[in-house]
Amino acid sequence: MNLFTNRVFLATALFVGTLVAGSVSITKNRQLEMMDDMAEDYFYLAGNLYFFGKFYPNDTVPFVKRPPGYTFFIYSVLKVWGGMPEVGTVFKSAQEADRVNKRSYKAVYWAQLLLLAISAAALFLWLANHIRLRYALIAAILYGTNPYMIILCGLLHYELVHAFCLVMGCFLLDWAIREPEITWWKLAIAGVFWGLATLLRPISLLLPGFVLLLFVAKYYWQWKLILKLTGIFTLAMILTIAPYTYRNYAITGRFIPINAQGSMAIWGSTVLKFERTPNHYKWWAVWYSEGLPLFQKITNQAEFTYHSRVANIFLMEEKFKEAAIENLKEKPGVYLSNIFTNFLTLQLDINSVYIKIYQFIQKRGNKFQKHWFAIGDKQEFSDSKAADSFGFFSALMALLSLGGIVLGIRNKDNFLLVPGAVYLCVCFAHTITYMDMMYYYMKVPFLFIFSAFFLHKLDIMKIQVPNLKWNISTIIMGIVLLYSLKLTAEIIM
């Protein structure tokens, strides 16, 4: 079996193995679903798009509240699935309507699992070009079969799809710049894909700046070449995003690249000093203490409703921007403290409470309670230790990742350019704006990428444990893999 055939075989096995692991969860267990509307309004928007051909049925209100990517993903899944009822269908009972909803949810779960399997295979093929095959394989197995990612397949929120975009985007960008002579059309393809990823989550609007730094590191000060390559990538991104930007301008008369929520996000980091609380939803603390009173003052409405949020979005963006500036003037220490905390918690923590909730709801009669996410709640609804075990696993991978980054920088290894640029981009975006419980998923692919690179470098250094023939990298690899698979079996099976 030649090298190419061997890699294709292993990638196929990874794809199938990830599907099998995820299918056990989807077919056997209850899923997080909407998490009592913590998953926001994407499924509702996709239903509107499916039945009415638009995000928001009220024609008098332009809808620019959400990025379109995840809504279009759900809509596409529902179209392909074909199991949605006709408009105006009257159900015989609430139970019948709920069964239809559950079936539509499950169609999305399967689609998200498919993306996880594809990205696990792609991760392996990408890493195999840069590190020893066994470490590329282990990293992809860990990514595709760890309990956290499998649980995200059953959450009707954008986490899993965006993680897919991060992996595939890195794969394509690395493919585009790997050769000494970069082909413009490969770079353009990578730019188009990142444009699509930006329609899912606008944090990658900042990516061209980090791609510029990538090319500076690769070509030093060859500015003509650097600017040319950055321009190709950026132009491809812009052309991909442009139709939706034009749509926004056509309905609002304003330049809105993706959606209108940036001012509120930054405002959220200027209100209160936060501790590292990865398992709690911090937004409630700032919203109910200062956000809701400001909304009531802006709109003269006592009650906050979805329609009032959509209808007053521009006024709210303007006033919350003013409030953020005022906070920065009066108490700059709050924002400075929070950007430090935002960065630190993204590196060190993980929202492992998802695992605890997933296990809890498997028992008949147990239901998710939104108040568990409130700051101060001790989350003692379950005595399961699996969530803590995964938190330890995440911390271990973060430590190995740090080792990989340090060795990569010391050795000036070009492999780190792409994952480093992308990871810095997502970290920077959430560090300077807002960081909360539902954003930790972004780090997960990079934990396995940087950790695998570290073990690969240790293997090359041939550091052995005394009295054993195995390299220390092989021992660490085996321990990490067994620990992760044990956790998955304990949580999912």
pLDDT tens column, 343-393:
999 999 999 999 999 999 999 999 999 999 999 999 999 988 999 999 999
Beta pairing partners, 464: 471
pLDDT digits (tens, 9 = 90+) for 272-289: 999 999 999 999 999 999
Share of the chain above pLDDT 90, in %: 84
Distance of alpha carbon 211 from alpha carbon 198, whole angstroms: 15
Residue 171 structural domain: 3-492
Cα 53 from chain centre: 27
Find the mean pLDDT for residues 232-236.
98
Could you tell me which residues are beta bridge partners of residue 471?
A: 464
Q: Determine the Cα–Cα distance for residues 323 and 316; give it in Å rounded to an integer.
A: 10
What are 202's two structure tokens? 């606008």
Task: Output the pLDDT for position 310.
Answer: 92
pLDDT of residue 1: 61
- In the chain, the number of structural domains is 1
Residue 315 or 58, more confident: 315
Asked whether residue 222 carries a pLDDT value surpassing 70, the answer given is yes
* pLDDT above 70: residue 492: yes
Query: Would you say residue 327 has pLDDT above 90?
Result: yes
Q: Across residues 227-238, what is the average pLDDT? A: 98
Q: Are 491 and 23 in contact (CB under 8 A)?
A: no
- Environment class of residue 76 by beta-carbon count within 10 Å: exposed (0-12), middle (13-18) or buried (19+)? middle
Q: Write down the pLDDT at residue 91.
A: 78
Which residues pair with residue 33 across a beta bridge? 155
pLDDT computed for residue 71 by the predictor: 97
Entry pTM: 0.96
> Contact at 8 Å (CB) between 266 and 324?
yes
The better pLDDT of the pair 6, 167 is held by 167
pLDDT of 432-455, one tens digit each?
A: 999 999 999 999 999 999 999 999
Which pLDDT band, with edges at 50, 70 and 90, does 101 fall under?
confident
What is the chain's mean pLDDT, rounded? 94
According to DSSP, residue 85 is labeled P
How many residues in the chain? 493
Q: How confident is the model at residue 130 (pLDDT cuts 50, 70, 90)?
A: very high
Measuring CA to CA, which residue among 124, 135, 146 is closest to residue 15? 124
Residue 63's pLDDT is: 94
